[in-house]
Amino acid sequence: MIDHGATERRILKTELRWAVFVGFLVLMILGAIVYAGISMHINPPSNREFIDPKTLHLSGEFTEANLGTSVDTDGQVTTRVIATQFSFVPQCVVVPANRTVTLRFASPDVIHGILVSGTNVNTMVVPGYVSQVHTEFTRTGDLLMPCHEYCGFGHSQMLATVRVVPPEQFRPGPDGKVTCG
Return the sign of the alpha-carbon dihedral for residues 120, 125, 126, 131: positive
Cα distance between residue 103 and residue 79, in whole Å: 5
Q: Choose one: 112-120, 127-135, 162-170; the region binding another protein (CB under 8 A).
A: 127-135
Q: Choose one: 60-68, 111-119, 120-128, 163-171; the region binding another protein (CB under 8 A).
A: 60-68
121-148-33-79 Cα dihedral, nearest 10 degrees? 30
The nearer residue to another protein, 38 or 181, going by C-beta atoms, is 38
The nearer residue to another protein, 51 or 118, going by C-beta atoms, is 51
Return the sign of the alpha-carbon dihedral for residues 96, 98, 100, 101: positive
Q: Tell me how far apart the terminal alpha carbons of the chain are, to the nearest angstrom.
A: 86
Nearest to 114 by CA among 101, 106, 124, 104: 124
In the set 10, 13, 41, 171, which binds another protein (CB under 8 A)? Answer: 41
Helix (H) or strand (E) holding 27: helix 4-40
In the set 37, 166, 167, 173, which binds another protein (CB under 8 A)? Answer: 37
Does residue 66 touch another protein according to CB under 8 A?
Answer: yes
Given the rule CB under 8 A, which residues bind another protein? 4, 8, 19, 23, 26, 30, 33-34, 37-38, 41-44, 46-49, 54-55, 57-61, 63-66, 72, 74, 76, 78, 82, 84-87, 89, 91, 100, 102, 104, 108-109, 130, 132, 134, 152-154, 156-160
